[in-house]
């Protein structure tokens, strides 16, 4: 019997047991029965976490777009694949059928080919949430080019770093973007970035806001006329199972962003299978994930997972509060959304506005609610459950990462009884482990520790682009033979998991991962700054906010003046983007350090949180006196 669609808790346990007892037989069956292959695999799995090296479905040949598009053409050709809901409610929504998507993707794929893009080339996509974004992603996949989507809120410096890191030959962008009442000049950001990207040969520009923009001769071309001329026939590039499908950057606690490399077959199988079961998607449901395709959530659960299942997936260009805080609920009503997947930060922002906006709309279509990106607090969970789901729509609190490619710990809607703030049980095939400070695995329930995964799963990232050693050091060195997630978690008395948050120097602000090091680097560029340390502190809506401790130089440059705070935030905006701006800045005489010179962030975190009762032993610090002065200075 097929295990592709799990329908109740008993079945979950039964399939889970099967998947961990004999993972290869299990995944082989799922892959065999539910996907289109040009050639089947020779070997389901080979792995060695010490190298680390993981291969799924080796020897298989496929193209993921045949699974997302071609195979639906006969059975679902006229069905809506993508509903595009524009930024402004006054602009009409667009329903793109599978047939139409097919045409758009293959035309776009031909434009890429006509512009010298071949299998294995990297293409940077820097677009707002318009249909061209999903189409560009799929067009790359069609011809075997590796897409690297960069969220269109990153600054030109951040964009340039990502373009250069993986040597993109082409950038796909738009003249600009709408975000609520504002418009952003995306093309000028790209122009600035490309001053430092000598290897980019061409830029394709989609028209969205009809602004006057600068077009660089021989480099830049408008996309639309090229699409009109292009043929809508495009044979898929036949890919090996382990060929890279895409690169997606994520922040680490130190250094440059990490280009996580995802491969084709395993990613496809896992993103599709999780989508089906976590959200219990059944045709003709309308599913909406509010994330941006610039993040992994959008890759797996707006584009690949839903389309692979022949689903109807909503793409929303705008923001939750434009023209007012009822926008999400208006869209739910308008498109009769059945599954709604968003982030705790959005839920908190909406909850703060009360329920009057909800009351104006018919939300009775909602069957399943989802959350992702950071731990959800109890209050937000209940608000979501009571007011959006009216206690009838299960909340799937889905824990996963850019690195994992798909959802890892989660309830399955209607199968797993939910518990507020708990991601509950491992998904099929996932073997979590909690580790103590000595590196031992904690057995049994009612324990908490660092969260690891003991066995490979199909959609795990295979490497960091250009730096396999860093991949090994970051994820496979903390604990022998285990993937380390960077998160802490507890397992309650019945075996449910609750993610407690990052245990490294990554801070999650409004669901966006920010490494402390790049922010500190940006601040330290200011001529007045000697050094700085960033920590997170709890924030009502954003989950965490950023607190910067900044020490100025002893020299004449190092004085506090009116514009200093502004200048520092401007540097951060330039280097990373407005999302990383500091909420609080404190100028200090020094930073608490260990004798080996490491900044004691733990102490700074406590002070930022306003909890100075339990700072631990500070006497071993190199400069214990500085702690007092920081506490004083904060008052």
Of 164-172, 302-310, 325-333, 369-377: span binding ligand 6R9 (CB under 6 A): 369-377
Estimate the crossing angle of helix 516-524 against helix 564-575, to 10 degrees.
130
CA dihedral 482, 374, 612, 567 (to 10 degrees): 110
Q: Give the CA diameter of the chain.
A: 76
Map residue 117 onto helix, strand or coil: coil
Establish if 230 lies at the interface with ligand 6R9 (CB under 6 A).
no
DSSP strands (E only) in 129-187: 146-149, 170-174, 177-179, 182-184
Of 168-176, 269-277, 394-402, 528-536: span binding ligand 6R9 (CB under 6 A): 394-402
Establish if 304 lies at the interface with ligand 6R9 (CB under 6 A).
no
Establish if 292 lies at the interface with ligand 6R9 (CB under 6 A).
no
Q: Side-chain half-sphere of 231: how many Cα atoms within 13 Å? A: 6
Could you say which residues in the range 396-415 bind ligand 6R9, by CB under 6 A? Answer: 397-402
Shortest Cβ 367–ligand 6R9 spacing (Å): 19
DSSP strands (E only) in 166-311: 170-174, 177-179, 182-184, 202-206, 220-222, 239-240, 244-250, 258-263, 286-289
Establish if 505 lies at the interface with ligand 6R9 (CB under 6 A).
no
Of residues 45 and 372, the one with the C-beta less far from ligand 6R9:
372
Map residue 597 onto helix, strand or coil: coil
| C-beta of residue 307 within 8 angstroms of C-beta of residue 272 | no
- Which x/- pattern over 238-257 shows residues binding ligand 6R9 (rule: CB under 6 A)? ------------x-------
The residues that bridge with 552 in the sheet, in sequence order, are 529
Handedness of CA 443, 449, 451, 456 (dihedral sign): negative
Of 231-239, 268-276, 293-301, 326-334: span binding ligand 6R9 (CB under 6 A): 293-301
Could you say which residues in the range 562-621 bind ligand 6R9, by CB under 6 A? Answer: none
Of residues 280 and 402, the one with the C-beta less far from ligand 6R9:
402
**191, 243, 374, 504: which one contacts ligand 6R9 (CB under 6 A)?**
374
Shortest Cβ 457–ligand 6R9 spacing (Å): 14
Shortest Cβ 192–ligand 6R9 spacing (Å): 25
Of 45-53, 180-188, 367-375, 580-588: span binding ligand 6R9 (CB under 6 A): 367-375
Provide the pairing of β-strand 177-179 with 182-184: antiparallel
**112, 331, 508, 546: which one contacts ligand 6R9 (CB under 6 A)?**
508
**Closest-CB residue for ligand 6R9?**
402
Establish if 427 lies at the interface with ligand 6R9 (CB under 6 A).
no
Establish if 372 lies at the interface with ligand 6R9 (CB under 6 A).
yes
**204, 499, 519, 603: which one contacts ligand 6R9 (CB under 6 A)?**
499
**63, 97, 110, 297: which one contacts ligand 6R9 (CB under 6 A)?**
297
Map residue 571 onto helix, strand or coil: helix
Shortest Cβ 56–ligand 6R9 spacing (Å): 20
Establish if 295 lies at the interface with ligand 6R9 (CB under 6 A).
yes
Shortest Cβ 487–ligand 6R9 spacing (Å): 5
- On the question of a cis peptide bond just before residue 284, with omega within 30 degrees of 0, the verdict is yes
- Residues found in the chain: 635
**373, 449, 548, 577: which one contacts ligand 6R9 (CB under 6 A)?**
373
Of 85-93, 281-289, 371-379, 577-585: span binding ligand 6R9 (CB under 6 A): 371-379
- Binding-site size for ligand 6R9 (CB under 6 A) equals 22
Q: How far is Cα 584 from Cα 415, in angstroms, rounded to an integer?
A: 44
Structure tokens given for 554: 């002893």
Q: How far is Cα 186 from Cα 125, in angstroms, rounded to an integer?
A: 12
Of residues 507 and 533, the one with the C-beta less far from ligand 6R9:
507
Map residue 196 onto helix, strand or coil: coil
| C-beta of residue 289 within 8 angstroms of C-beta of residue 371 | no
Question: Which of 133, 148, 459, 418 shows the shortest CA–CA distance to 275?
Answer: 459
Structure tokens given for 140: 């790359």
Residues in contact with ligand 6R9 by the rule CB under 6 A: 250, 295-297, 372-375, 397-402, 423, 485-487, 499, 502, 508, 513
């Amino acid at each position: 019997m097929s295990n592709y669609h799990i329908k109740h808790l008993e079945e979950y346990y039964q399939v889970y047991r099967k998947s961990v007892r004999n993972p290869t037989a299990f995944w082989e069956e799922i892959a065999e029965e539910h996907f289109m292959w040009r050639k089947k695999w020779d070997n389901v799995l080979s792995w060695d976490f010490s190298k680390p090296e993981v291969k799924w479905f080796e020897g298989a040949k496929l193209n993921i777009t045949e699974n997302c598009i071609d195979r639906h053409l006969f059975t679902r050709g006229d069905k809506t694949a993508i509903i595009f809901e524009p930024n402004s409610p006054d602009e009409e929504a667009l329903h793109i059928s599978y047939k139409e998507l097919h045409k758009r993707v293959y035309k776009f794929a031909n434009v890429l080919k006509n512009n010298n893009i071949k299998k294995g080339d990297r293409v940077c996509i820097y677009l707002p949430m318009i249909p061209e974004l999903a189409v560009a992603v799929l067009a790359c996949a069609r011809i075997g080019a590796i897409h690297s989507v960069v969220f269109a809120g990153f600054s030109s410096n951040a964009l340039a770093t990502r373009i250069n890191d993986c040597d993109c030959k082409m950038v796909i962008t738009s003249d600009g973007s709408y975000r609520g009442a504002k418009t952003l000049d995306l093309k000028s950001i790209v122009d600035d970035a490309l001053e430092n990207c000598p290897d980019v040969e061409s830029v394709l520009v989609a028209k969205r806001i009809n602004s006057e923009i600068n077009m660089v001769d021989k480099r830049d071309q408008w996309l639309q006329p090229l699409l009109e001329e292009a043929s809508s026939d495009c044979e898929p590039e036949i890919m090996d199972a382990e060929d890279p499908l895409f690169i997606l950057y994520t922040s680490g606690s130190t250094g440059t962003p990490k280009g996580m490399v995802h491969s084709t077959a395993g990613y496809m199988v896992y993103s599709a299978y999780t989508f089906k079961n976590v959200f219990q998607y059944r045709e003709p449901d309308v599913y909406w994930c509010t994330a941006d395709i610039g993040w992994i959530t959008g890759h797996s659960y707006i584009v690949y997972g839903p389309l692979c299942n022949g689903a109807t997936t909503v793409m929303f260009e705008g923001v939750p509060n434009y023209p007012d805080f009822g926008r999400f609920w208006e869209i739910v009503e308008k498109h009769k959304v059945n599954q709604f997947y968003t982030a705790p930060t959005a839920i908190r922002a909406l909850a703060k506005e009360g329920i009057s906006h909800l009351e104006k709309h018919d939300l009775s279509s909602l069957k399943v609610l989802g959350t992702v990106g950071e731990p959800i607090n109890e209050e937000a969970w209940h608000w979501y459950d009571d007011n959006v789901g009216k206690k009838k729509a299960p909340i799937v609190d889905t824990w996963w990462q850019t690195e994992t490619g798909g959802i890892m710990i989660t309830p399955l809607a209607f199968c797993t009884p939910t518990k507020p703030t708990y991601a509950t049980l491992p998904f099929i095939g996932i073997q979590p482990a909690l580790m103590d400070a000595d590196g031992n695995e904690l057995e049994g329930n009612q324990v908490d520790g660092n969260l690891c995964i003991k066995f490979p799963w199909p959609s795990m990232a295979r490497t960091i682009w250009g730096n396999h050693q860093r991949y090994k050091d970051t994820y496979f060195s903390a604990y022998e033979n285990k993937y380390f997630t960077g998160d802490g978690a507890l397992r309650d008395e019945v075996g449910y998991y609750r993610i407690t948050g990052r245990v490294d120097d990554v801070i999650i602000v409004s669901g966006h991962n920010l490494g402390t090091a790049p922010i500190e680097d940006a601040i330290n560029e200011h001529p007045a700054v000697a050094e700085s340390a960033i920590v997170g502190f709890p924030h009502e809506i954003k989950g965490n906010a950023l607190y910067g401790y900044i020490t100025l130089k002893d020299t004449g440059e190092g004085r506090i003046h009116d514009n200093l705070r502004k200048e520092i935030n401007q540097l951060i905006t330039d280097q990373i983007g407005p999302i990383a701006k500091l909420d609080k800045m404190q100028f200090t005489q020094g930073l608490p350090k260990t004798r080996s010179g490491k900044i004691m962030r733990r102490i700074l975190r406590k002070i930022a949180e306003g909890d100075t009762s339990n700072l631990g032993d500070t006497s071993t610090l190199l400069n214990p006196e500085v702690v007092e002065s920081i506490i004083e200075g904060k008052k």
